Chain A
Amino acid sequence: MNSSFDTQSILKLLFAKLYRRGFRPGIGKYIAALKAVDRGYGNIPDDLKLTLGSLWCQSRDELAIFEIIWNETLSLYTEQKQSEVSQASPIVNAQTNQEAPQSKLKKQIKPPKAPISKNNQTNTDSDTDRDIEDQEDKSLGTPSTSISSNQSDEIPKFDFVPVLSPNAKLQEDFPISTRYMMYAWRRLRNSVPLGRPDILDVEATVTKVAGQSFYLKPIYQRREINRTHLLLFVDREGSMTPFHRFVRHLVDTARESSGIERVDVFYFRNVFGDFVFCDEYLTKPIALMPIEKTKAALTDCDHDAIVMIISDAGAARGHNSFKRLHASTEFLFELRKSVDTIIWLNPVPKDRWRYSSAEKIAYFVPMYPLDPENLSAAIDHARGQTNRK
């Protein structure tokens, strides 16, 4: 097989398949693969697999998926090769038809013993018919059975079930990547030079030296710090349960990687009631009502603070609840007395807001769906760039 191993066809097949599965190796890496193959790093299937795995995969998960696609592609390639051989030499057709499926079977799950066709003659005569039937079988999702007049040893493959190795660790695949979240939060800044004075100002130092004609000490400028105060109100449990991990990621990136000086997070369940909670398990309550307590909860929160509420606002279940609407508007009304910027982030897509409480609440407060583009727009809004909504 090695001598006739056509790497070019494999590369094309595999590249197309990987692209369909969301891999984006890019044309540069395709050319790099050609170069590597040309220099002897892919003359045999095992080497080619290693080369392409290193070149075209970017994570352990991708390597695991690559393994599956590689096996699929290799068997497809083998099939193609065999059919080419059988077309090129019809005399040996009978033999090929008998042997090829058997060798394939060994690799797959053992089938129930199919009765051998009465005569191989029919089989050899109608290769194309058999191919068409197989394709129909596949497209209908029905396995070819032993009662078929044309004997076929095709067995339904379960390739479409991606069986990863038990050691493979799947990583999150959120609508917004962690990195994107970090960058988005980082744009939310109000930088003031109040940090440590450790940035050497060469120009000012030289000017001072020239002015006083001797050098005493260098002049340092203060580091800038981000004085933004972000308050997050996060809806938990109920219809928000499917979004827990995603929202936790959003909150964590705001807390740990945003560079924002102060991030306060409060949690609530479903609607703003008399309490919000300090922890995501809703065990440490802080009283909100009466409204004086809300103000106490938002201690030393000035008007420049930014409030973001993360909740589906009833859109997940399509509820149009007056209770929710009333509670939310009452809270927002009071909150607006303390802060200028309030933004609602809704993890449910916008087309699902219709006829639900979310649609009504969106009239009171700017509401953005939680996708990359709209998170960016929400941050712009918080920065005072309200050119779009």
Chain B
Amino acid sequence: MTIEKPRFFNEPDRRPNDPHRDSPKAPEPYVAHKELIHAINLAILLERPLLIEGEAGCGKTCLAKAVAYELGYPFYRWDVQSISQVRDGLYTYDSVLRLHDVQTISIDVEKKRDPSKSGDYLTFGALGRAFFSDRPAVVLIDEIDKADLDFPNDLLGVLDDWKFSIPETRTAVSARHKPIVILTSNKEKGNLPSPFLRRCLYFYLEFPKTPEILENIIKVHYASQPKATLPEAELVKEAVAGFLKIRENQSLYKKPSTSEFLDWLKVLQSYLPKPFDVNQLKNQLQEQDKVPYSEVLFKHRNDWLRYRLAL
């Protein structure tokens, strides 16, 4: 008999009535196309990590939160750094504090920790906490490409068996439910090791290319923020058209992302007491080929100089 696996539909209303206490409290506005939804469900079915690559700011990180919210699963996020080690994600053990407590036990009698119990000095990391959940957890391992060379290889053992041992407490931990693991990377060199990639599912998140998708993203984004004012349709239309035109410019050092676009739209709408004039925007974008508030969109000197308005 096969156990029915949960499915993700990108419909936050499907959230169960009894979500896990570590599940995101607020819905994550997310527009996922059917290919991406398919890949996530496949990862859930096959219990394999899903590696998502794509430009920075195209929505890789928000996805895991959206999945956790809809399924009511706990969400644990691990931001990988260059010095990250797999053990940090599983647990940390504070030997110095234990040594300290041994010395001060006679002075501080009300201490909550007991130096004779090694477990009192153990703290579980994002990945470690996923092992104890009463339902599968959604673990986001963000920017895995930033880690040290050996990191993916070390992670492999954990992702294969979902077991690890803690020598300090002489215990072994096994996952109650295999977590749903989403890995993100924006390195296009593909230098994650082959044995690691072989175990993952792969998805490349394309940048939204049509005005309809971008407008839909804006709609969903503003729907989740009741306090924010949705810009007028004309302004949105003009901003989207201008933004997509900018993205077509192949000579840009760094193309602006969706998140930068949303910031830009917010600035157009709310920076001045009145929203930015549509005709003026149209004129600047189309006639002058310049961008108001270019510092919001462009993060490279040459790009910024190319599009900034003359003083």
- Kindly identify which residue among A29, A171, A186, A257 contacts B188, using a CB–CB cutoff of 8 Å: A171
Judged by a CB distance under 8 angstroms, whether B286 is at the interface is no
Complex interface: stretch among B21-29, B40-48, B289-297: B40-48
Given contacts A36-B42, A50-B35, A178-B191, contact A218 B198 (CB under 8 A): no
Evaluate contact between A32 and B189: CB separation under 8 angstroms: no
Binary flags per residue of A61-74, CB closer than 8 Å to B gives 1, else 0: 11100000000000
Min CB distance B248 to A, Å, is 11
A205 beta carbon closer than 8 Å to chain B: yes
Asked if A55 lies at the interface with its beta carbon under 8 angstroms from chain B, I say: yes
Smallest CB gap from B201: residue in A: A54
Q: A32-B48, A60-B53 are in contact. Are A54 and B203 (CB under 8 A)?
A: yes
How many cross-chain pairs have Cβ atoms below 8 Å apart between A and B? 88
Contact A183 B149 (CB under 8 A): yes
In the bound complex, CA of A71 to CA of B188 (Å): 25
Interface residues of B, CB < 8 Å — how many?
A: 32
Confirm or deny: B175 has a beta carbon within 8 angstroms of a beta carbon on chain A: no
| Cβ contact within 8 Å between B204 and A215 | no
**Cross-chain contact A59 with B190 (CB below 8 angstroms):** yes
- Given contacts A35-B45, A50-B39, A54-B42, A60 and B99 within 8 Å (CB-CB): no
Query: Which of A24, A55, A58, A61 is B42 in contact with, Cβ under 8 Å?
Result: A55
Report B42-97 residues with CB < 8 Å from chain A CB. Answer: 42-43, 45-46, 48, 50, 53, 95-96
Q: Which residue of B lies closest to A215 (CB)?
A: B103
Whether A60 contacts B188 by the Cβ 8 Å rule is yes
| A50 contacts B38, C-beta separation under 8 Å | yes
Residues in A193-219 with C-beta less than 8 Å from chain B = 200, 202, 205-206, 209, 214-215, 218
Residues A23-51 near B (CB distance < 8 A): 24-26, 28-29, 32, 35-36, 39, 41, 47, 50-51
Task: List 29 A-B residue pairs with CB atoms under 8 Å apart, sorted by A's residue number.
Answer: A26-B198, A32-B46, A32-B48, A35-B45, A41-B41, A41-B45, A50-B39, A54-B42, A54-B43, A54-B202, A55-B201, A58-B197, A58-B202, A59-B197, A60-B53, A61-B190, A62-B202, A171-B188, A178-B189, A182-B191, A183-B149, A200-B95, A209-B99, A209-B102, A214-B103, A215-B99, A215-B103, A218-B96, A218-B99
Listed in ascending order, the chain B residues whose CB lies under 8 Å from chain A are 2, 35, 38-39, 41-43, 45-46, 48, 50, 53, 95-96, 99-100, 102-103, 149, 188-191, 193-194, 197-198, 200-204
